[in-house]
Structure 1
């Protein structure tokens, strides 16, 4: 076996093993390989923001007016990242919570059709989601919101509990870990609220302080009672309960829910 091919196989074996570890993300693994915790941000700057228009294939969408980038993640056919075009370290950064700029969640949700394009089939809205990880469970120090298919367990949580999830925060458990969920009615799948602001006001009872470390997950639901809207799941870091706020666990890079869907003609 040629040495180059052997090294490539070893790299992918190492990546697969690393991604199996709790709290390990693809952008974190590859960011570490490419230069540490700012590897993702440097790639976005060089590939997407250094020239207009961006020519690198990883730059799926660059919206200069809103200051946001849709960036193809290195691992996962349909996995994308919503990244501000200015420095925002993550959920501990006040700029993520002040609502001053464009809503990155709305931007990512508007772009959700790219997941189906990558898979070659239409993926229903209730199989798609967005997630941001806590500071303690990420490896890259530039805010990035994950966009992909949701997992079967995540869908069971929001659909099975959608009747119980009201417009106020509802305490639930996901994979044995404490989370809170909130239903935001929306007859059409248009995200008009900023989940950061919803969580901030709910976590602090309207206080000015930034919420403690946490992850956030968002998806769309239509339940048997005819309700339609978004479910926002708040996952505070709770070491005693074993929760590290790794909200991208609600997503599935293999998009197994969509495997049985028909392929686009």
Structure 2
């Protein structure tokens, strides 16, 4: 089951966006006292439990064949993290661009139902985002993709920007930072490989990738075709931009109040 495209609530979202755009202060993640906590959880607990006892705890899921684990984040009402089961530090790690690298973003989109289960109802695909922070805007040294709600004001901004977003990169200002956006078509994200799309746009990916953040937002393009908006920002030391795309998400999931959707009576992903 994927996020269903239900009715729009743009008037309410626009009103909320005006307030949230001025009040929102989602900065980069706060440093954790141990930058290897996620790696220790996945490698030291989830993987051994899955392989030895056939239970992923404390993770929600472990998929050794596809190289990832899924963990409910302690921050947020419904946020999940997709984390490699191999040691992969983050955006700067050359492993993410290797030909046989797992399709981490494709797998992350398949975790959206876990977010919806945490909220208790369906929502349109335009309300959910995947985000990975730059090397300079993260707190953990193990790659992890945040799967959570999109901030209401960002949804409004992206809705109106859709007609201008195409196969190239289009500049957008979001959360006070200068992003660029490109279009991905398809109901699912499998095979889109956002890491590779970013690398193809850089002069020297080996040196530059660590300074970038990526965000993927579900959308429905004008004309009704489902797809995704891929967003990229880069570190800008002078302005204090640490390239933390997580800032476009809202871990309180306020958008769920404007997109009630259909109540989930049962779920494959109970909390």
TM-score category (smaller protein): 0.7 to 0.9
Conserved in 1, the CA contact under 8 Å of 2:175 and 2:248? no
Per the alignment, residue 237 of structure 1 pairs with 235
Conserved in 2, the CA contact under 8 Å of 1:72 and 1:80? yes
Per the alignment, residue 194 of structure 1 pairs with 193
How many Å apart are 1:62 and its aligned residue? 0.6
Per the alignment, residue 125 of structure 2 pairs with 125
Q: Distance in 1 between the 2:76 and 2:57 partners?
A: 15
The CA deviation string for residues 113-152 of structure 1, in whole angstroms up to 9 with x for no partner, is 1111111111221111100001111111101110011111
Per the alignment, residue 49 of structure 1 pairs with 47
How many Å apart are 1:46 and its aligned residue? 2.4
Q: Label 1:249 to 1:58 Cα distance change in 2 as closer, same or farther (>3 A).
A: farther
The CA deviation string for residues 88-125 of structure 1, in whole angstroms up to 9 with x for no partner, is 11111111232422100000111211111111111221
With the length of structure 2 as denominator, give the TM-score of the two structures: 0.80
With the length of structure 1 as denominator, give the TM-score of the two structures: 0.82
Q: Distance in 2 between the 1:248 and 1:226 partners?
A: 27
Conserved in 1, the CA contact under 8 Å of 2:79 and 2:115? yes
Write out the 4+ residue segments of structure 1 that deviate beyond 6 Å after TM superposition.
Answer: none
How many Å apart are 1:158 and its aligned residue? 2.1
Q: Label 1:164 to 1:242 Cα distance change in 2 as closer, same or farther (>3 A).
A: farther
How many Å apart are 1:218 and its aligned residue? 0.2
Q: Find the residue that maps to 1:229 and give its secondary structure.
A: strand
Q: Distance in 1 between the 2:107 and 2:26 partners?
A: 30
Q: Mean Cα displacement is larger for which, 57-66 or 46-55? A: 46-55
Gaps of 5+ in 2: 1-24, 266-271
Conserved in 1, the CA contact under 8 Å of 2:105 and 2:189? no
Alignment of 1:97-112 (within 5 A): 97-112=97-112
Q: Distance in 1 between the 2:83 and 2:45 partners?
A: 13
Per the alignment, residue 220 of structure 2 pairs with 222
Q: Does 1:211 find its partner at 2:208?
A: yes
Per the alignment, residue 24 of structure 1 pairs with 29
Gaps of 5+ in 1: 1-19
Which has the higher relative contact order, 1 or 2, with Cα contacts under 8 A spaced 6 or more apart? Answer: 2
Q: Label 1:74 to 1:54 Cα distance change in 2 as closer, same or farther (>3 A).
A: farther
Backbone CA RMSD of aligned residues: 2.0
Q: Find the residue that maps to 1:37 and give its secondary structure.
A: coil
